[in-house]
Chain A
Amino acid sequence: TQLLEQSPQFLSIQEGENLTVYCNSSSVFSSLQWYRQEPGEGPVLLVTVVTGGEVKKLKRLTFQFGDARKDSSLHITAAQPGDTGLYLCAGARSTGGFKTIFGAGTRLFVKA
């Protein structure tokens, strides 16, 4: 069974602080996605990383895909209350049929 372990599960921080969310697996993924979900809405795609070692930046968010394509991290610099939400990582495998595995999610609360 493929697992994608996401940590931490819950994070409550003050505005301005930095944070990192991790996703780890023993499986190799063809790509990995990060989503953000707000209450009452579906997950919204933030980024897809494809290449081992790839780093992508989206304003204050930095995403990294591990060299072996088994793990990924999301780093938020100077968090703001608007960053509050559920962050989900999802690993995709195309071999043997399309399959996406979701992490358990990190619920982030940024206090003003």
Chain B
Amino acid sequence: DVKVTQSSRYLVKRTGEKVFLECVQDMDHENMFWYRQDPGLGLRLIYFSYDVKMKEKGDIPEGYSVSREKKERFSLILESASTNQTSMYLCASSLGRGGVDFEKLFFGSGTQLSVL
């Protein structure tokens, strides 16, 4: 089975800190994604990457950046954490080749980030 691992399950940070959220997948997937999930708002796409060193903005990229130096690892960076970035952050990956059937997403367990 595909495994998507997020480095932290819970994280508490202070306003203004630089925060790194790490995500690793073990199935040679091309695509990787970062979503945030808030009550009543559902899943919103922050950034995604379809190849090493490639990235594209999602719906809510402001205040975030990403890094993909290796195929299996996709990092989300909060440059200067703010309280409105308190959320559940979910990483996902998909194969990205072979047609529609391979575009299903595999999610990590999520990181609940609290910014105080």
A pairs with B = no
- Residues of B at under 8 Å CB distance from A? none
